[in-house]
Structure 1
């Protein structure tokens, strides 16, 4: 008998050990990485400056943040999309082939980046520049050919019949392009940067250069969907000298933040909080609280973004450490329900009415939790599939509640609507 009791004890100990290992494994799987890697543009550009501002906010929330400068800003979307790149977050302001970027989603737009055209004042005596078409025959300097600026300008030039056949177009790294323009080695330069970027302010205040207001803005916007109309206020760079001397009508692109779809919810909320803190004050061409915004983005939106913009960060992510918040979000509800069901079966199995009521309530609770996962586009793992099967069997055998049956029907409809 003592041998049997000892064997039973050993089996129990083994079972408890396996359960403990499973719990630890599930906790480790749910824990988000403490490191966030952001792909930004060149260090003097607006993307990089925004990324540094995000880093400050995120580090206050316990994250380690790496900012990776990338001179070819057109490639950032592909870097975030690549599962092996190690890049979690990036900036985009160009038209994207969404069908080729299935691993990214947008967290919303953060600002407008105008397309600034600066020309040397000495040109005004020789040639009036009032549109992009007037750049024909001149020497024009641009950032790298694979930059967002140059990709946008190439579409503008195509519409305005400006090409290397009729114009000298040079592509240089951002700082070098600006030096070329300031040194008089180029007639004009085009840069897409934040209106409050110090490089733009320096060019605007340079007495040898003139910020050009180009015509045909509305016509260009009609043909290039990711661009829109923006207004730079008079005197914004120097009120005493009134620079610029009048409001300037500009083309501008909406800048969006993209992340990997696989980014844990705690990290997603932290990035959106950083976006809100950095951009809610507005800038030279946007109003306070105009950004961040998800209403204008044409990219697939992260399922958590609309809820965040409506009501903010959920309590558990706002008050718990990121790792604990992710574990609670992933496992607390099903573990609580399972614990209650097991406890009820042992302690109140003789009280059929009370047990039925609690089983119905727990089924509703679990169905609502599963509905939320379905709405967020989160695929069901074996755990969720098992829970759903148990609820379906219980409803089929015992429950006549219309509320539970309706919740189950809504969940099944949501699962059918999921892609794949």
Structure 2
């Protein structure tokens, strides 16, 4: 009984599907071709080259991984010696590394363009921290002559920067004894008086910086000529470590310190998917936009302070913020719509003509079930016309049986209630043709009896 009720509805599901079928197939084909032609979906894994263990780069890489995981993107971190090694990994065509932290001054615009490097923006000031042991305060780099200086391992970029600093002080690496211990072993060596000077570049939240600033007997070098350094090396900025910033109660440090600082930049290879660039930029904004010892609220991330060409996606981000759709939708849904907008517009253009074709096609399919039986009725009428008198009785009996079969099949037709009028009209017309045949049969029987 329920099935019978389902059959007599306003719409016939089967005919509706058949009417929409060709159009649906066309839409699927258009979407498939569009999906194949547009940029592929972004991968779910990014490889990043970070820095030394327990260093700022490594800590920030972990925070980026947490942010990206919110959008089901895995950030695989590979430890490195620092900025220089990161730069080489990103530009190496055989490397899987797509992004990394690079210190400003590590390359120039021409080399970056040649190596396929793009900048997603500078992230934070990364001051050059120069800690030393001395009974009195040193005021110039030339006073380091003859001392043992630890500049960190090859690949971190500090050695190259220190060599540049020495050059503008009329010195060379031969004037000092260079050690290349990693930052943590180098700190231990300074505390054990095995090296005289420890130089490294790090963000202000570095545990080593925090610890050394509060260690008795360890001094921080004050770049009183910081402004002059920034004129000689444009990739450097003059920053000030405020008095009391470490501990106001204990007045640590006891006075303002002038420092020179390159900026840490998020550098990627130009083959990185644009959608992932946008996602990394959003993560960078959440991680680096706050104020710290050296930067104001909202100063970073920034498209300034970088000699590497800024990516087009990054320029749009700094100008307009995150993509509009990603402000309201999940990353994957928004990205799909952004990639498929051409197909969506094309389908929108097709919708109007298709909307005029489908309804008539559906109506035709429903009514064709009824109208095709009129051909059978017409054949019955033709069969009883111009029949010889002697054959009328047998022809009439044959056509009555034919009408019974037609009526039986018509009774099994299921159509929506909105088209019931046509069905009942067909039945009345079958009854009309049957009446004509029966009239002819009665006349033939009377004639045979007489």
Query: How does the TM-score come out when normalised to structure 1?
Result: 0.72
The C-alpha deviation readout for 1:276-308, integer Å capped at 9, x for no partner, is 111111211111111111134332111122332
Q: Give yes or no for contact 1:145–1:151 (8 Å, CA) kept in 2.
A: no
Distance in 1 separating the partners of 2:224 and 2:304? 28
Matched, 1:160 2:169: yes
Distance in 2 separating the partners of 1:325 and 1:13? 24
Distance in 1 separating the partners of 2:224 and 2:31? 69
What SS does the corresponding residue of 1:313 show, helix, strand or coil? coil
Q: Give yes or no for contact 2:50–2:82 (8 Å, CA) kept in 1.
A: no
Matched, 1:142 2:151: yes
Matched, 1:239 2:251: no
In structure 2, relative to structure 1, the CA distance for the partners of 1:14 and 1:171 (3 Å cut) is same
Matched, 1:117 2:127: no
5 Å-filtered alignment, 1:309-320, equals 309-320=318-329
In structure 2, relative to structure 1, the CA distance for the partners of 1:97 and 1:307 (3 Å cut) is closer
In structure 2, relative to structure 1, the CA distance for the partners of 1:16 and 1:311 (3 Å cut) is closer
In structure 2, relative to structure 1, the CA distance for the partners of 1:198 and 1:210 (3 Å cut) is same
Q: Give yes or no for contact 2:243–2:252 (8 Å, CA) kept in 1.
A: yes
Q: Give yes or no for contact 1:32–1:323 (8 Å, CA) kept in 2.
A: no
In structure 2, relative to structure 1, the CA distance for the partners of 1:24 and 1:295 (3 Å cut) is closer
What SS does the corresponding residue of 2:312 show, helix, strand or coil? coil
Matched, 1:98 2:106: no
Q: Give yes or no for contact 1:94–1:152 (8 Å, CA) kept in 2.
A: no
Matched, 1:337 2:353: no
Which of 252, 260, 267 aligns to 2:261? It is 252
Distance in 2 separating the partners of 1:346 and 1:154? 71
Matched, 1:31 2:46: no
Which of 198, 207, 211 aligns to 1:198? It is 207
Instruction: Tell me which residue corresponds to 2:303.
Output: 294
Structure 1, gaps ≥5 residues long:
1-10, 350-420
Matched, 1:216 2:225: yes
Distance in 2 separating the partners of 1:275 and 1:152? 26
Distance in 2 separating the partners of 1:90 and 1:275? 13
Shift of residue 347 of structure 1?
Answer: 7.6
Distance in 2 separating the partners of 1:270 and 1:38? 14
Query: How does the TM-score come out when normalised to structure 2?
Result: 0.68
Distance in 2 separating the partners of 1:318 and 1:260? 26
5 Å-filtered alignment, 1:156-195, equals 156-195=165-204
Which of 53, 67, 82 aligns to 2:77? It is 67
Greater Rg over alpha carbons, structure? 2
- Between the two proteins, the alignment pairs up a number of residues equal to 333
Q: Give yes or no for contact 2:31–2:343 (8 Å, CA) kept in 1.
A: no
Distance in 1 separating the partners of 2:47 and 2:327? 21
In structure 2, relative to structure 1, the CA distance for the partners of 1:267 and 1:157 (3 Å cut) is same
What SS does the corresponding residue of 1:219 show, helix, strand or coil? helix
In structure 2, relative to structure 1, the CA distance for the partners of 1:346 and 1:52 (3 Å cut) is closer
The C-alpha deviation readout for 1:334-391, integer Å capped at 9, x for no partner, is 2133334445677899xxxxxxxxxxxxxxxxxxxxxxxxxxxxxxxxxxxxxxxxxx
What SS does the corresponding residue of 1:305 show, helix, strand or coil? helix
What SS does the corresponding residue of 1:202 show, helix, strand or coil? helix
Structure 2, gaps ≥5 residues long:
1-21, 358-450
Q: Give yes or no for contact 2:230–2:236 (8 Å, CA) kept in 1.
A: yes
Shift of residue 121 of structure 1?
Answer: 3.6
Q: Give yes or no for contact 1:317–1:325 (8 Å, CA) kept in 2.
A: yes
Q: Give yes or no for contact 2:34–2:343 (8 Å, CA) kept in 1.
A: no
5 Å-filtered alignment, 1:295-374, equals 295-332=304-341, 334-342=342-350
What SS does the corresponding residue of 1:277 show, helix, strand or coil? helix
What SS does the corresponding residue of 1:101 show, helix, strand or coil? helix
The C-alpha deviation readout for 1:229-280, integer Å capped at 9, x for no partner, is 0000111222222111011011111111112223223211211111111111
Distance in 1 separating the partners of 2:80 and 2:44? 23
Instruction: Tell me which residue corresponds to 2:142.
Output: 133
Answer 1 or 2: higher relative contact order, Cα 8 Å, separation at least 6. 2
Q: Give yes or no for contact 2:108–2:308 (8 Å, CA) kept in 1.
A: no
RMSD: 2.7
